[in-house]
With several copies, the nearest count.
Chain A
């Protein structure tokens, strides 16, 4: 039995209804065709299901994987329905291929109806207010949970909370040194580079720093060292800024005075 296109309600073309998933759509198709679930005509429903997906495509809506999966199931079922049904060993006809689908739809409809009753109760019950918790003498903190009600979810949320707070209070030292650069570190690096009286091209060195923060720290370190007369600055004819180490010894208290 082939079904002419356009068997979906005309209004669907104007405004595509939104379903809570493929089963919800199937249920609606059963309703549109005015048949009982148990009497579902797979070929018709299958075609209409695809028609709906095509409409979704036309409207550039994303089709969730679940719909595609269910569509494939329907095609499979439709082909099974066309084949003669095998017989079991006793000579009885084998199970109707639709049986599982019918069962799922009946169960889904039953639960969907129940969800409508819950929705009704919900909308009435949101109007019920209790007293706002207040600090009580000798009572536990208001956010305390009834022990019976504490579940794995709460345990995990609590653990996550601890870890997040811990990380916040103890930022990793590696990140620290990358983000805020210590002038003293740069200062020490600078003096080390100048050991042995090698000429040192300041601009070239600054160009090798990895971030603006590090450049600033390195430059401040140069100014510090110059102030302490540990280095001398020279500008070459080519415009390079060259540093030399002086003979002055670095005093421990001087190093400690440099900003970390």
Chain B
């Protein structure tokens, strides 16, 4: 039987050392199956403690189907200064547009992205692949067998999402085509 305090300490240590999100089930597997419920509660207590300490340097977050400890975003300036890192990965507007298309319309192919943006996407796709924000997940069985793209776990991690359902919803426009009578249309009919 493991003491509750030991469980919390173990979770804290494991989370502290990890540099990527850890799955809850995996964490709970650290203990005997008979202790799973207690372990779950201990894990929640640790996470809650981290989230509660609003004025501290680190916090806990749930992303990409896992939990991890991260620094608070407000402290970016200090970290950058200390680690002398200049210009952390800026994404061009083209890259962001393409990333949005892949995120919301996945699985999607290069030609489809081309159609949606009106621009050849290969250079931008390469950038996004290199940054591991998207991945190739096969080919579509159509003429030319184009590659099919999806977002990655890294994408979820970077944007702080648990899963794709957490993406900000796409705006639904009320404009429906042809809802209003239109000048040009009437011109055409007048001429006929």
Residues on A close to B: CB < 8 A?
1, 15, 17-18, 20-24, 36-39, 41-43, 64, 66, 70, 81-85, 96, 99, 102-104, 106-119, 121-134, 136-141, 143-156, 158-163, 165-166, 169
Q: Shortest distance in angstroms between B117's beta carbon and chain A's nearest beta carbon?
A: 6
Among residues of A, the one whose C-beta sits closest to the C-beta of B88 is A126
For the complex, what is the distance from the CA of A103 to the CA of B119, rounded to whole Å?
17
Asked if residues A115 and B175 are in contact (CB atoms below 8 Å), the reply is no
- Asked if A38 meets B168 with Cβ closer than 8 Å, knowing A96-B185, A125-B158, the reply is no
B75 within 8 A of A: yes
Among residues of A, the one whose C-beta sits closest to the C-beta of B175 is A38
**Of B73, B129, B154, the contact of A149 (CB 8 Å cutoff):** B154
B106 within 8 A of A: no
Q: List 30 A-B contacts (CB under 8 A).
A: A17-B192, A18-B190, A23-B119, A36-B175, A38-B180, A39-B180, A43-B184, A84-B189, A84-B192, A99-B178, A104-B118, A113-B170, A114-B171, A118-B159, A121-B159, A122-B91, A126-B89, A128-B76, A130-B71, A131-B18, A138-B87, A144-B93, A146-B153, A147-B89, A148-B153, A150-B91, A152-B136, A153-B135, A156-B168, A159-B170
Asked if residues A127 and B74 are in contact (CB atoms below 8 Å), the reply is yes
- Asked if A38 meets B153 with Cβ closer than 8 Å, knowing A126-B76, A129-B17, the reply is no
For the complex, what is the distance from the CA of A83 to the CA of B185, rounded to whole Å?
11
Contacts of B131 in A (CB 8 A): 147
Q: Shortest distance in angstroms between A9's beta carbon and chain B's nearest beta carbon?
A: 13
Residues of B in contact, count (CB < 8 Å): 78
Among residues of B, the one whose C-beta sits closest to the C-beta of A120 is B168
Cβ < 8 Å to A, chain B residues 88-143: 88-94, 96-97, 99-101, 103-105, 115-120, 129, 131-132, 135-138
Asked if residues A85 and B178 are in contact (CB atoms below 8 Å), the reply is no
- Asked if A134 meets B19 with Cβ closer than 8 Å, knowing A38-B177, A38-B178, the reply is yes
Binding stretch for chain A, among B1-9, B28-36, B46-54, B78-86: B78-86
For the complex, what is the distance from the CA of A156 to the CA of B170, rounded to whole Å?
7
Which applies to chain B's interface (DSSP): helix, strand, loop or mixed? mixed
Q: Shortest distance in angstroms between B5's beta carbon and chain A's nearest beta carbon?
A: 18
Asked if residues A115 and B99 are in contact (CB atoms below 8 Å), the reply is yes
Contacts of A1 in B (CB 8 A): 184, 187
Asked if residues A129 and B71 are in contact (CB atoms below 8 Å), the reply is yes
Starting from the known contacts A81-B184, A156-B168, 11 additional A-B residue pairs (CB-CB under 8 Å) come to A104-B116, A109-B173, A117-B168, A130-B68, A137-B79, A138-B87, A143-B92, A148-B89, A152-B160, A158-B97, A159-B97
Asked if residues B96 and A119 are in contact (CB atoms below 8 Å), the reply is yes
Contacts of B175 in A (CB 8 A): 36-38, 106
For the complex, what is the distance from the CA of A133 to the CA of B16, rounded to whole Å?
11
Asked if residues A151 and B118 are in contact (CB atoms below 8 Å), the reply is no
- Asked if A124 meets B73 with Cβ closer than 8 Å, knowing A113-B171, A149-B152, the reply is yes
Contacts of B120 in A (CB 8 A): 66
Asked if residues B159 and A165 are in contact (CB atoms below 8 Å), the reply is no
**Of A37, A66, A96, A158, the contact of B99 (CB 8 Å cutoff):** A158
Contacts of A23 in B (CB 8 A): 117-119
- Asked if A66 meets B70 with Cβ closer than 8 Å, knowing A131-B19, A146-B153, A147-B89, the reply is no
**Of A18, A82, A148, A162, the contact of B185 (CB 8 Å cutoff):** A18
For the complex, what is the distance from the CA of A136 to the CA of B71, rounded to whole Å?
12
**Of A22, A64, A134, A166, the contact of B116 (CB 8 Å cutoff):** A166
Q: Shortest distance in angstroms between A191's beta carbon and chain B's nearest beta carbon?
A: 37
For the complex, what is the distance from the CA of A151 to the CA of B170, rounded to whole Å?
15
**Of A66, A144, A159, the contact of B103 (CB 8 Å cutoff):** A159
Contacts of B118 in A (CB 8 A): 21-24, 66, 70, 104, 108, 165-166, 169
Cβ < 8 Å to A, chain B residues 140-192: 147, 152-154, 158-161, 167-168, 170-171, 173, 175-180, 182-185, 187-192
For the complex, what is the distance from the CA of A131 to the CA of B14, rounded to whole Å?
9
For the complex, what is the distance from the CA of A106 to the CA of B175, rounded to whole Å?
9
Q: Shortest distance in angstroms between B81's beta carbon and chain A's nearest beta carbon?
A: 9
For the complex, what is the distance from the CA of A150 to the CA of B158, rounded to whole Å?
9
- Asked if A151 meets B137 with Cβ closer than 8 Å, knowing A21-B118, A131-B18, the reply is yes
